[in-house]
Each structure stands twice: as structure tokens, then as C-alpha cells.
Amino acid sequence: MNRHWLTPRLRSWGDRPALIWRDESRSFNQLCDDGDAWLRELEQHGVKPGDTLAICGDYSPKLCALLLAAVLNRNIIVPLTSATSSRWDQLMELAQVQFAVQFESDDSWRVISSDRIVRHPLLRELRAHHAPGLVLFSSGSTGESKASLLDFSRLLAKFEVPRLAHRTLVFLLLDHIGGINTLLHGLCHGGTIVTTRDRTPNAVCAAIEAQRIQLLPTTPTFLRMLLIADVIRRHDLSSLEIITYGTEPMPSSTLAAIREALPQVRFKQTYGLSELGILPTQSRDSGSVWIKLGNAGFEHKIVDDILWVRSPSAMLGYLNAPSAFDADGWFNTQDLVERDGEYIHILGRKSEVINVGGEKVHPTEVENVLLQLDNVKDVTVRGHPNPITGEVVAARITTLAPEDPDAFKLRVRQFCRARLERYKIPAVIDVVVEDHYGARFKKSRNPTSIQHSTGTDAG
């Protein structure tokens, strides 16, 4: 591959396993050889430095090698996973993609070119600076997906100093800043990246056992799924040392339960956004939802209980929205936080706060209570319009086993009365059967996603 600090670093790991895909191992030498082959392929297909290149598919040896080659070729990379395949055309149009490499499930691929012209000033600016780029789309759980454009070289910079290597299971996908961060962290430090065909609780636990996984980056939603599926006790997870979690607030009840199930594991909360990259964090302790944000070039401040961040790896801007930075380069994360000395507790997005007659309700507080009620599989809390109070608390609840809706709602309210102020108790309860999360295993509070209701109560 082209000369860059990344090239000799990866080559230095030699025959050490870099990637395990479908139980087959690819060494760092093989990964680098595949990257060299991709550089030749890109040249033959007319993919020049600065061109926008969509990489479509999920983790596989050739796809990972292409991503690294595209960085070295200084392309603007648009990772698109199979979970969003129905929207690929729309997302490629938004990112002004000129070339796309689409991977099949057997790691075969094809190159598709288009006649799109790159017109967006941010894309043209990045091309003029001869830097590789990355376009990431938000999940769209609270509205239209935003397209963040980042300088890939800035994301890579923090991995230049070698650190401890782990055998890591890649759970977060490559169209997510957490997935990109996991892949780069693993490969740049000589670790082994392990993939799994499915991201079900059983498949993940089976992969941890078979491949002796040490590090699992995931989400609070998936950790709760592990507990509900009761698969932990059926697998040998003794190799697991660290679980990192992020993308959404962690319910303290879920953290306590998963720590009890995996007492040998250290739990660490992460914090990052597509717009900023992944910030260094330190949990107060393994069982705490309070974290300290590190510096390492990052700065943060809290204004009116909202977290603001200034980041060296911050995006250049959105491709489909106005600039999100103030004149001094600070980004308003919209995350509400509590502060205790050097530590903060992330409560959730400001836009999600429910205003009940002037009283503020954080959805995560109510969810944390409801998750402790027996026969509750999952719950999502949001605001519901009310002509008198402006809003009331609404809860979407999925039960573990069928239960009479009226009796269940009565139990919910009785349970909440002993634990919550009156205005925080759900006035609207929907008993639903569908999942509360999307492909990123992150809870969606978008009210338009409510469907398949088996019972609604606004009394």
C-alpha cells in the first residue's frame, strides 16, 4: 500500500491475525496485500484521489482492505451497510457518489460508476486539500438523516501512538462512527477484528466463546437483549474483559443487571457523535453511569445544562444542513447533562425532554423505573400532546409474555406511583409487539414508528 504511517504499522504485524471472518483468518500481511491489489483496481476503474466512493456491504476481508486502500488513495468514503440497502440510491445522491463498490455475502464485488458531478463546496474543499474523507449519515431516529463530512486523516491521527491490542468483536456497523472507530482501533494497534454473521444475542455470545473475544463494543439496548434472552449462562464468556457501551443513555438498572451477570468484565461508557468523532472517556467506576470526558485535544463546556464540545476531529460540516458550529468552533451536542465535579451524567437529548405543565421529565428516568417492572421486555418513553398540560408522558411497552392489557396498565401505574412524582407517571400507555430499535440497536423515540399496537390507554 502507499507510504503512510499506517502502511508500515500494519505490515509490522506480519502474520498476526488481523481479521476473522466466518471462522477464516486473514493476517495483516494478507490484508496489506489485498489493499495493494485494491489500489491497482481503483486505478484501473478510474477512481482518482478526491473522488467520492461508496463502499456497500458489511465487514468482510476485501471490504476492510478496500476501506484502508481508499484512505490511502485519498478518496471521500461513503460506507453503506446492508441494513440501509433500500436507501442506498438516496444516500449516494446526497453524498454525490461517483463510484460504488457493492459487495455480496460471499465477498465478491462489482464496481459501479456514475456521471454525478461533485458540486458541494465542502466536498470540493476536502478534495482541494488532498485529504481522504468520510461521509456518515445519522440514524434518522428523530427525523431526516444528516450527512456529516469528516476529514479521515484527523480520525486516524489519534491511532498513530500504539496502544494495547485486543481481540474485538465488531458489533457496531461501518456506517456508524463507533464501527469505524472500532475497526481502526483494532487494526492500528495490532489487534484482531472478529465478525459475526448475525447480531443476535446467541450469535454474539457464541462468537465470544469460540473466538475468545476480549472486547465487545455495543449498546445499552443490546446488553438488555442479552439479559432477556438468558444466553450468558449458556456460553463460556470468561475471555471477555471489557464491554464498552454508548450511542444512547444507559439505564442504571440494566447496568446493574449486566454487571451481576458478567462480574469479571469491566464496563466503560463511551461518548461520540458522527459530527465530532469518539471522545476519550473515563467511567467513575464499572458500575457508574457517570463519566469524565478526557482532553487529548478535545474541549468541553456545559451551558444551561447542555454539553458543548470542541473537537480536533470534528466534521467539516453537513452536506444537507446548515453549519452546526458557533463562531469559535464549539458544537452544541443537544445532550442534557448533570454535573458532579469532574464527572457528568448524560440524560438524553434536549429535544426529548417532556414538558408537563411546566414540569420537565427526562424519558430515561421513567424508562429506568419501568424496566424494573416484571414482565417488561422493553420500553420507550416520549411526550404526547395534551390540550391542558401541553404534554403528558407516554410509554410504549413490550411485554415478555402476553398479559391482559388493562391489568398490565394498572400494574404499571401502581408501580410508578411508589417511585415517581405524579406528573412523571405515564398517562398514555401503548402495549406493542414491535422492536424499539433499528439496525444500530439504538432506541427510537420517533412517534411515527409506533405500530402494531395491541392496546392504548389515555385514561
Structural domains of the chain sorted by starting position, each given as residue range(s) with its CATH number in brackets = 6-157 (3.40.50.12780), 274-350 (2.30.38.10), 353-457 (3.30.300.30)
pLDDT of res. 1 = 57
pLDDT at 451: 34
pLDDT, mean of residues 433-450: 66
Q: What is the pLDDT of residue 197?
A: 87
Say yes or no to pLDDT of 435 above 60. Answer: yes
pLDDT band with cut points at 50, 70 and 90 for residue 58: very high
**233-255: per-residue pLDDT in tens?**
999 999 999 999 988 889 888 99
CA distance 102 to 112: 8
Residue 459 has pLDDT above 50, yes or no: no
Nearest CA to 79 among 180, 170, 209, 153? Answer: 180
Average pLDDT over residues 2-11: 87
User: Residues of the chain with pLDDT > 70: what percent?
Assistant: 95
pLDDT of residue 3: 66
Res 100 pLDDT > 70: yes
Q: How far apart are CA 227 and CA 285, in angstroms?
A: 21
Q: Confidence class of residue 144 from pLDDT cuts 50, 70 and 90? A: confident
- 430 φ, ψ (degrees, to nearest 5): -110, 120
- Largest pairwise CA distance in the chain: 69
Q: Note the pLDDT tens digit of each residue in 318-328.
A: 999 998 899 99
Give dist(CA 54, CA 182) in Å, integer. 20
pLDDT tens per residue, range 147-196: 999 999 999 999 998 899 999 999 999 999 999 999 999 999 999 999 99
The torsion angles phi and psi of 9, rounded to 5 degrees, stand at -60, -50
Question: What's the CA gap between 214 and 209, in Å, rounded?
Answer: 10
pLDDT of residue 107 exceeding 50: yes
Q: What cell was used for 9?
A: 504499522
Q: What is the pLDDT of residues 364-415, one digit of tens each?
A: 899 999 999 999 999 999 999 999 999 999 999 999 999 999 999 999 999 9
Residue predicted with more confidence, 191 or 458? 191
3-state secondary structure of 300: strand
Sheet holding 331-340, edge to edge: 281-283, 291-293, 343-349, 331-340, 306-310, 299-303
- Helix (H), strand (E) at residue 260: helix 252-261
Q: What is the mean predicted confidence (pLDDT) over 292-311? A: 89
Residue 179 C-alpha cell reads as: 464501527
